[in-house]
Amino acid sequence: MGHRRLLVVALVMGSLLIPGTWAGAETATEVAVPRTTIAVRTDLGHRWGLGAAHAPRGALSLAKLYLVDYALRHGDGSAVDRELGERMIRYSDDVAADRLAGKYPGAIAAVAAEYGLTATGAGGHWSAATTSSADVAEFLHAKARSDPGSPILAWMATAGDRAADGTPQNWGTARLPGVLGTKWGWSDFGTPEVASVSFGPGFTVAAHTYGTPADQTADVLAALPQMLAGLTGIPPDLLRQWGIAAGGA
């Protein structure tokens, strides 16, 4: 299963485009949508969310970010923990996650409390954990700001083309301009369900989709031009850094 400045995301469903914000912004408007939630956090102070970005959904393998963060900062400092963490982030290795979660059973709950991730819950097994797009974006943004040398970021930036189970790792938020590193998650059972979170120069962006990797990629890419057009104050040099022309996407 599977630095930093501003990027803008939203969700287009058919012809519907509804911008929203989450906690801490001046205006809060979130709408429930059946497929994709998207959230973005930036160094410019933006906390944008769309599609009920605060709502808890399956964390999938994004829960591995929380597990590895705990092990690196609060674990025993062993080389084994670091090796398992690298396999979990770069290759979304479930066997490595089972071992690390068994060693630190309270890791996800502890990280959720530390970072104030109110929609994140541990579940009975790491694969049953819940989180929200807003929580994941907030966590990764805090990590990038407070610990830019974290191995987690380096491993996201050097993720394998394929996960340990052979799943391609090249979709969703990873396809947005300016992205430097990504972690993906997916369900191997029942209805397709996928998630991804990425960071770039001054931003983090997370998405969760009740659908396929292709569905998520389509949603986040379709959203970008409209959201860029709707926001002001993005420096032209920053747009160029992301590979976006100053006049649009």
Residue 236, in any domain of the structure: yes
DSSP 143-188: HHHH-TT-HHHHHHHT--SB-TTS-B---GGGGSTT--EEEEEE-S
**In a 3-state reduction of DSSP, which class is residue 244?**
coil
Number of independent structural domains in the chain: 1
Of the chain, the percentage scoring pLDDT greater than 90 comes to: 65
Q: Distance (Å, rounded) from C-alpha 165 to C-alpha 150? A: 25
Q: Distance (Å, rounded) from C-alpha 55 to C-alpha 97? A: 24
Question: For residue 47, what are the domain limits?
Answer: 12-241
Give the tokens for residue 141: 């943004």
Residue 168, in any domain of the structure: yes
Residue 7, in any domain of the structure: no
Per-residue pLDDT tens over the stretch 23-54: 333 233 444 445 999 998 888 888 888 888 99
CATH number at 20 reads 3.40.710.10
What is the CB neighbour count within 10 angstroms for residue 46? 19
Q: Distance (Å, rounded) from C-alpha 50 to C-alpha 32? A: 8
- When pLDDT is averaged across residues 124-149 and rounded to a whole number, the result is 96
- Extended strands (E) in the chain: 12-13, 16-17, 36-42, 47-50, 57-58, 130-131, 181-186, 194-200, 203-209
What is the CB neighbour count within 10 angstroms for residue 246? 11
What is the CB neighbour count within 10 angstroms for residue 241? 16
Q: Which amino acid is at 100?
A: L
Q: What is the mean pLDDT of the chain?
A: 84
Residue 4, in any domain of the structure: no
Give the tokens for residue 36: 């994709």
Residue 87 has pLDDT above 50, yes or no: yes
Strands 12-13 and 16-17: antiparallel
Residue 3, in any domain of the structure: no
pTM: 0.85
Per-residue pLDDT tens over the stretch 158-190: 999 999 999 999 999 999 999 999 999 999 888
